[in-house]
Amino acid sequence: MYPVKVVRIITWLPYGGIEKKIVDVLSMLNRKKFNPIVCCLRNKKGVYEEELKKRDIKVYKLNFKSRLDPVELFKLINLLKRENIKIIHSHMYRANIPSILAGKLTNVPVIIPQVHNIEEWKSKREFILERLLYPLSSKIVTVSDAVKKFEIKNTNITPNKFFTIYNGVDLEKYKSLESEKQRLRKEFGIKGKVIGMIARLYPQKGHIYLLTAAKEILKEMPEVKFLIIGAGPLDTYLEHKTKELGIYKNFIFTSGVKEVLKYYGLIDISVLSSEIEGFSNVILESMAYGIPVVATRVGGNPEAIIDGETGFLVNYGNSSELAKKITTLLKDEKLHGEMGRKAKERASLFSLDKMVADVEKLYDELLRVKLNV
């Protein structure tokens, strides 16, 4: 019976927390029990393809023009048959819908769609498709209880159909980065404290509120630097906005980077000013390195951060509250140190080892039910 073939299905493999987490989990999956492959629904060159191939994980690419493209759906069905797939584990709405349909048409025993975010962009049509197709799956994985509640509210699917698996971080990676910190501080000419925000440059990430907060912070602490790591359609706009606000010289824009780990060594306070979040990898990574986080009170953020103990939670869009909490941490070294220590302790609850164990346990339990193994 073992090892069984598992396919992870995703739109494609650009820089991103979800994509990187797939690589991390598949790299640690027990190969005596599970033989993983990856299928991308778009024929685009992704940054993680070579990394997967180095780990002896095949990457297949289709070219879906729409979510239910009949020609590509037929190709997906053929792939599932050819590879003798026993478990489909898909990610996000655009991959979940065709994956469930293809899986049912080929009698794949275990079908798991995973929802990573509170997807408020979805229309009535999208939720109707979820109501029709998601119940055909074996389990629906969500990355936080907040995401689970959102899906239940909008689909009316029974709660016992859902299973939460929190994102995890590889705690072994978060050792001292002191030497890297000194090198980067010299490279960027940094003398004071650094506020970091690692996020795609999209409107829902709320960078604009950090920029507005920065103007207030810099009135009291002009040496502070703001490190913005991420790529997206707002890159030019945000740089122009810092110039308009007169704070450009205090900002460092790195664009997208494949490996962000070394940059955590620069960051004194991590900020996430998003409108929506499922369960943020950046929050976990920051906490694992002992960095206090100031984040919005949305999605799964309150499940990761204990407000006032391991970091601060603020209301979305409230720049003055954001500035106040950041300034508090900048001025109070004792509080900053204590929050950082407690954040690191809390991060240990969300290890990559635990995440992989939860995934393997779910696979085993569902196979046992479906195949009596």
We report the CATH number of the domain holding residue 234 as 3.40.50.2000
123 Rama class: left (phi>0) / alpha (psi -120 to 50) / beta: beta
Residues 120 and 232 in one domain: no
Residues 144 and 187 in one domain: no
Residue-level pLDDT at 186:
84
- How far apart, in Å, are the Cα atoms of 291 and each of 43, 332, 347, 365? 38, 14, 11, 37
**CA-CA distance, 297 to 319, in Å (whole number)?**
13
Neighbours of 234 (CB within 10 A): 18
Tokens of 104: 């049912």
Question: In this structure, are strands 251-255 and 59-61 parallel, antiparallel, or unpaired?
Answer: unpaired
Residue-level pLDDT at 258:
66
Look at the chain and report how many structural domains it folds into.
2
At residue 140, φ and ψ (nearest 5 deg) are -110, 115
Residues 161 and 186 in one domain: no
Residue-level pLDDT at 189:
84
Residues 16 and 141 in one domain: yes
Which single residue is written with the structure tokens 């073939």?
5
**CA-CA distance, 98 to 90, in Å (whole number)?**
9
List the 4-10 sheet strands across, edge first. Answer: 59-61, 34-40, 4-10, 85-91, 110-115, 140-142, 162-164
Residues 116 and 219 in one domain: no
CB 286 within 8 A of CB 264: yes
Residue-level pLDDT at 225:
96
Closest by CA to 238, choosing from 205, 207, 198, is: 207
Residues 180 and 293 in one domain: yes
Residue-level pLDDT at 293:
98
Residues 135 and 250 in one domain: no
Which residue range forms the structural domain that includes residue 222?
171-350
At residue 312, φ and ψ (nearest 5 deg) are -125, 145
Residues 146 and 124 in one domain: yes
Q: What is the pTM of this model?
A: 0.91
Residues 84 and 109 in one domain: yes
Which single residue is written with the structure tokens 């302790």?
345
* H-type alpha helices, 189-251: 207-220, 235-245
Residue-level pLDDT at 182:
79
- How far apart, in Å, are the Cα atoms of 6 and each of 67, 68, 217, 370? 21, 22, 49, 15
Residues 153 and 185 in one domain: no
pLDDT, tens digit only, all 373 positions of the chain: 789 999 999 999 987 889 999 999 999 999 999 999 999 999 999 989 999 999 999 999 999 999 899 999 999 999 999 999 999 999 999 999 999 999 999 999 999 999 999 988 888 899 999 999 999 999 999 999 999 999 999 999 999 999 999 999 998 887 766 667 778 888 888 888 999 999 999 999 999 999 999 999 999 999 999 999 998 999 999 999 999 999 999 999 998 776 788 899 899 999 999 999 999 999 999 999 999 999 999 999 999 999 999 999 999 999 999 999 999 999 999 999 999 999 999 999 999 999 999 999 999 999 999 887 6
Residues 316 and 303 in one domain: yes
Residue-level pLDDT at 373:
60
Tokens of 134: 């998601």
Closest by CA to 87, choosing from 363, 372, 373, is: 363
Identity of the residue numbered 279: F
Question: In this structure, are strands 251-255 and 225-229 parallel, antiparallel, or unpaired?
Answer: parallel
Residues 249 and 333 in one domain: yes
**CA-CA distance, 115 to 58, in Å (whole number)?**
23
